[in-house]
């Protein structure tokens, strides 16, 4: 360790926690051995070294290193996560985004699976088009067999991803794309209707211009056999678009991309056609191409209520230099990817902290002024990036495929990079920079964050807190109310002008989400990662309007998420029960006697030995459960404690033990184990097995035992009570929360086309 001080970096407590968990060097005992300042120095030093390849002196390289270091430590610019994690370390894999090709042969399919595993192991995410694979039930001439189709092979890719631990810090993430004119398009559109299927993929349908025109007129369009390239049937375009919209309304997938629009902006059409994007959809790439991304923190570009354009321009220049250097310093997982990437030298400079910037400028996100600011800022960044790339080209030479690019016209200046700008997800980076994500509105002015020992902290947006203190309306009580509500809308204690400025994602009508995406797309070479968040009450027609606005507004794709939509199927069942069953009665857990008797069972799991204690009631039936695990602590132990409390509550409330076992059995984690010849999928699965054994043993010991509380519960009433409780939970203020973080147990938020944990920085998209 260099021992550099972090005292003046201004990192939040949450940022330091995320860095320690995912980014900082650790020794063999998993102990952190560098500070955040050391990390930034490591990255700056490593990336500046690339200047030596272009004849720079030691003094010039040291100056570049200092520029990079200052830019990062002031949180004005941050590169993508793999660069922060790996630059200057043994892995040295610095790219976040990769696209691979899949040809229509078994050899190509499994060669691509192998390449995918190598990329995931190195910390990257992958995108694929499955459009070249022949349709389901097509004849395979070489074997005389029948093809199983693209969706079947997607499931194979999904399983392979599940099996690969991604570099220890990032998990495998995939984008699966199918053209709308593929014969299996209907199966693809519905393949994630069950959200337990193909869980390691985001999916998008590639819509063509021909399809969009025919969907508007209600005409049929041709399906094309990918093997013969000949028509293989027809579908009504409007009906197919209706199905895509319905599925997106139901659970957020599939997304859509406008593939012809992406290829219209393809800078090297003579080199190849764009078929797919990276996992979050913002980076269209050629097959076997990668891209390096970074984001400017716009909240750092505001001084005294004004945008500092000079500072922004300087930051763009340094960031382009940084990202171009990354291409040279990168250790690519495959030689083919290195060759393609260096031939085009694509970079993706984007932004984060846009919503914070609007707060500081006193501008509401849902206003004409914000749209104008968005266009002005992105146009400025693109022009400044182009100038910086031209300057680099004059020093270092243009990208190798420049002569095959759309830029190679008489009188045009050469460019160092085929693309320059991308609006990428910044879920974890924005935690480090303590700013809002990408170009998204914020998701809550104030929210409750769980920390160790079940302590709850109220997190308040720092600039809102500053304004509230100055305005004299900051009180802990009010912040608690806001944390429960998420928004300040209609709160009489807060001035109306502040309510207009400090809006959250669900205060904003969908049209403003799309208009904002369109405004940034106008000056973005690649694409924009953004989610249009909708309230649960949004209709299928609302989704249709969003899709058409995205198409008409020049977007290259769109992702929507309707609040609680992934719970819809379960809720419809409980609602039906509620109608059929009698009114619910309140269930109260039986009191615990002063002394209980039980047994402790040791069972091996992938995380270590788990000790499960089950105490019994006077009738010899399970009454309460406690768990402990050898050396485990922190989140693992707190989650086990939570499971134990909930199990005990359920048992003492008379819930059928078999029903509890059924819920826990088969839950999988990344580290399964074997125990006495049986597969233990997770700690939850282990607990279920111990509970099941105890029931069997109890029945053997006391076959004539008196009826336990399970047999005295009025089951219909219990089900009704559970339904009522489910409804209460569903109606609570949990916009954008889509699940529980597998790492720390906090809420997962749907943002920028991905699921992100604000507490620990986990991202489902890697």
What's the rounded Cα separation, in Å, for the pair 440 and 51?
35
Contact 43, 24 (CB under 8 A): no
Provide the token pair at 577: 């029960």
Contact 436, 299 (CB under 8 A): yes
Helices (H) and strands (E) in the chain, counts: 25, 28
Query: Which residues are paired to 289 by β-bridges?
Result: 99
Measured in degrees and rounded to the nearest 5, phi and psi for residue 464 equal: -65, -40
Identify the DSSP state of 276: E
Query: Pairing mode, if any, of strands 737-740 and 678-680?
Result: unpaired
The catalytic residues are: 278, 280, 282
Omega before residue 660 within 30° of 0, cis: no
Provide the token pair at 484: 């429960």
Distance of CA 58 to the CA centre of its chain: 40
Q: How far is CA 160 from CA 113, 124, 153, in A?
A: 7, 15, 11
Query: Which residues are paired to 460 by β-bridges?
Result: 446
Cβ neighbours of residue 75 closer than 8 Å, sequence gap 6 or more = 9, 10, 297, 300, 432, 433, 434, 435
Residue with tokens 């990276």: 278
Cβ neighbours of residue 687 closer than 8 Å, sequence gap 6 or more = 610, 612, 625, 627, 643, 647, 664
Q: Which of 513, 560, 553, 539 is nearest to 256 (CA)?
A: 560
Give the three-class secondary structure for 437.
coil
DSSP line for 670-731: S--EEETTEEE-SHHHHHHHHHHHHHHHHHHH-TTPPP-GGGGS-HHHHHHHHHHHHHHHHT
What's the rounded Cα separation, in Å, for the pair 278 and 173?
9
Identify the DSSP state of 592: P
Q: How many CB atoms lie within 10 A of CB 711?
A: 10
Measured in degrees and rounded to the nearest 5, phi and psi for residue 617 equal: -85, -175
Contact 417, 324 (CB under 8 A): yes
DSSP line for 286-316: -TTEEEEEEEEEGGGGEETTEE-HHHHHHHH
Measured in degrees and rounded to the nearest 5, phi and psi for residue 574 equal: -65, -35
Residue with tokens 């208009």: 515
């Amino acid at each position: 360790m260099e021992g550099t001080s972090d005292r003046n970096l201004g990192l939040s407590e949450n940022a330091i926690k995320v860095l320690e968990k995912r980014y900082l060097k650790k020794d063999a005992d998993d102990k952190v051995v560098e500070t955040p300042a050391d990390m930034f120095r490591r990255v700056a030093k490593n990336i500046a070294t690339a200047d030596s390849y272009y004849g720079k002196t030691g003094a010039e390289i040291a100056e570049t290193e200092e520029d990079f270091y200052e830019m990062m430590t002031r949180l004005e610019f941050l590169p993508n996560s793999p660069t922060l994690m790996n630059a200057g370390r043994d892995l040295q894999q610095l790219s976040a985004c990769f696209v691979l090709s899949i040809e229509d042969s078994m050899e190509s399919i499994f060669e691509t699976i192998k390449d995918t595993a190598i990329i995931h192991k190195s910390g990257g995410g992958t995108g694929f088009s499955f459009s070249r694979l022949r349709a389901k039930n097509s004849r395979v001439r070489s074997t005389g067999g029948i093809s199983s189709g693209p969706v079947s092979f997607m499931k194979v890719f999904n399983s392979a991803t599940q099996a690969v631990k991604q570099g220890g810090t990032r998990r495998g993430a995939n984008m699966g794309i199918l053209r709308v004119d593929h014969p299996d398009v209907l199966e693809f559109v519905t393949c994630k209707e069950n959200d337990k299927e193909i869980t390691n993929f985001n999916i998008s349908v590639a819509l063509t211009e021909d399809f969009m025109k025919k969907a508007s007129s209600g005409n049929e369009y041709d399906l094309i056999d990918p093997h013969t390239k000949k028509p293989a049937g027809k579908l009504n375009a409007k009906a197919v678009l209706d199905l895509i919209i319905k599925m997106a309304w139901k659970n957020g997938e599939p997304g859509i991309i406008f593939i012809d629009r992406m290829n219209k902006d393809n800078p090297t059409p003579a080199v190849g056609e764009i078929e797919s994007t990276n996992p979050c959809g913002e980076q269209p790439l050629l097959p076997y191409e990668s891209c390096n991304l970074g984001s400017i923190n716009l909240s750092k570009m505001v001084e005294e209520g004004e945008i500092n354009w000079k500072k922004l321009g300087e930051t763009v220049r340094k960031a382009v230099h940084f990202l171009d250097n990354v291409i040279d310093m990168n250790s690519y997982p495959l030689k083919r990817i290195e060759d393609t990437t260096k031939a085009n030298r694509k970079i993706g400079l984007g932004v984060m902290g846009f919503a914070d910037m609007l707060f500081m400028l006193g501008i509401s996100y849902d206003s004409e002024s914000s749209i104008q600011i968005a266009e002005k800022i992105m146009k400025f960044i693109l022009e400044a990036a182009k100038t910086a790339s031209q300057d680099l080209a004059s020093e270092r030479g243009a990208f190798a495929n420049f002569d095959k690019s759309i830029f190679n016209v008489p009188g045009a200046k050469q460019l160092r990079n085929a693309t320059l700008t991308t609006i990428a997800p910044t879920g974890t980076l924005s935690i480090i920079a303590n700013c809002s994500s990408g170009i998204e509105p914020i998701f809550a002015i104030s929210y409750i964050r769980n920390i160790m020992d079940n302590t709850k902290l109220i997190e308040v947006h720092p600039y809102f807190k500053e304004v509230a203190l100055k305005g004299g309306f900051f009180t802990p009580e009010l912040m608690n109310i806001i944390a429960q509500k998420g928004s300040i809308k209609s709160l009489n204690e807060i001035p109306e002008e502040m309510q207009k400025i400090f809006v959250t994602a669900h205060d904003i009508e969908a049209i403003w989400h799309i208009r904002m995406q369109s405004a940034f797309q106008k000056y973005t070479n690649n694409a924009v990662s953004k989610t249009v968040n909708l309230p649960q009450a949004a209709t299928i027609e609302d989704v249709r309007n969003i899709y058409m606005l995205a198409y008409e507004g020049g977007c290259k794709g769109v992702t929507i998420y309707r609040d609680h939509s992934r719970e819809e199927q379960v809720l419809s069942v409980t609602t039906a029960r509620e109608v059929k069953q009698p009114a619910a009665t309140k269930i109260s857990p039986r009191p615990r006697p002063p002394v209980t008797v039980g047994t402790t069972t040791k069972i091996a799991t992938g995380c270590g030995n788990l000790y499960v204690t089950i105490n019994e009631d006077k009738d010899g039936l399970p009454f309460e459960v406690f768990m402990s695990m050898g050396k485990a602590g922190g989140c693992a132990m707190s989650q086990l404690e939570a499971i134990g409390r909930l199990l005990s509550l359920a048992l003492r409330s008379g819930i059928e033990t078999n029903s509890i076992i059924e819920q826990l059995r088969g839950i999988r984690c990344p580290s399964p184990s074997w125990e006495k010849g049986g597969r233990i999928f997770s700690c939850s699965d282990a607990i279920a097995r111990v509970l099941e054994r105890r029931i069997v043993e109890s029945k053997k010991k006391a076959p004539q035992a008196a009826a336990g509380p399970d047999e005295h519960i009025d089951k219909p009433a219990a089900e009704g009570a559970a339904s009522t409780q489910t409804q209460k939970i569903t109606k609570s203020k949990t916009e954008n929360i889509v699940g529980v973080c597998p790492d720390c147990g906090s809420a997962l938020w749907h943002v920028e086309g991905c699921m992100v944990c604000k507490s620990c920085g986990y991202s489902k998209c890697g």
